[in-house]
Amino acid sequence: MHPRHFARTAPDRPAVVMAAGGGATSYAAIEEVANRGARLFRSLGIGAGDTIAIWLKNCLEYYHIYWAAQRAGLYICPISTQLTAEEAAYILTDSGSRLLVTHADVPAAVAFVRDRASLAQGVEAIFDIGADLEGVPSWHAALAEQPAERIADETAGYHLVYSSGTTGRPKGIRLPLSGEAADAPHMLAERISGRYGVGEASVLLSPAPLYHTAPLVYGMAAHRLGATLVVMEHFDAEAVLRLIERHRVTFMQMVPTMFVRLLALPDDIRGRYDLSSLEKIVHAAAPCPVEIKRRMIEWLGPIVYEYYGGSEGNGSTFITPQEWLDRPGSVGRADWGTLHICDEEGGEVPAGNDGLVYFEGGWDFQYLNDPAKTRDARHPAHPGWSTLGDIGHVDDDGYLYLTDRKSFMIISGGVNIYPQEAENLLILHPEVADAAVIGVPHPEMGEAVKAVVQPKSWDDAGPELASRLIEYCRAHLSHLKCPRSVDFDPALPRHETGKLYKQEIRARHWPKA
pLDDT of 176 reads 93
pLDDT averaged over the chain?
A: 92
- Provide mean pLDDT across the span 363-379: 92
Q: What is the 8-class DSSP label of residue 181?
A: -
Is the pLDDT at 416 greater than 80, yes or no? no
- Provide mean pLDDT across the span 471-480: 88
Cβ atoms 192, 225 nearer than 8 A: yes
Is the pLDDT at 417 greater than 90, yes or no? no
Is the pLDDT at 165 greater than 70, yes or no? no
- Provide mean pLDDT across the span 484-512: 81
> Which one-letter amino acid corresponds to residue 80?
S
Query: Residue 408's pLDDT band (boundaries 50, 70, 90)?
Result: confident
Percent of all residues in the chain with a pLDDT value above 70, rounded to a whole number: 97
pLDDT of 439 reads 87
Range from 216-230, 315-329, 488-502 carrying the lowest mean pLDDT = 488-502
Range from 27-36, 159-168, 224-233, 380-389 carrying the lowest mean pLDDT = 159-168
> What separation in angstroms does the CA of 372 have from each of 313, 377, 390, 425?
19, 9, 18, 36
> What structural domains does the chain harbor?
3-184 (3.40.50.12780), 307-407 (2.30.38.10), 409-509 (3.30.300.30)
pLDDT of 412 reads 80
pLDDT of 513 reads 57
Q: Which helix (H) or strand (E) holds 256?
A: helix 256-263
Q: Which helix (H) or strand (E) holds 241?
A: helix 237-247
Is the pLDDT at 509 greater than 70, yes or no? yes
Burial 443-460 (b: 16+ CB within 10 A, else e): eebebbbbbbbbbeeeee
Q: Half-sphere exposure (CA, 13 Å, Cβ side) for 263?
A: 20
pLDDT of 164 reads 66
Query: What's the CA gap between 449 and 405, in Å, rounded?
Result: 16
- Provide mean pLDDT across the span 229-249: 97
Q: What is the 8-class DSSP label of residue 197?
A: -
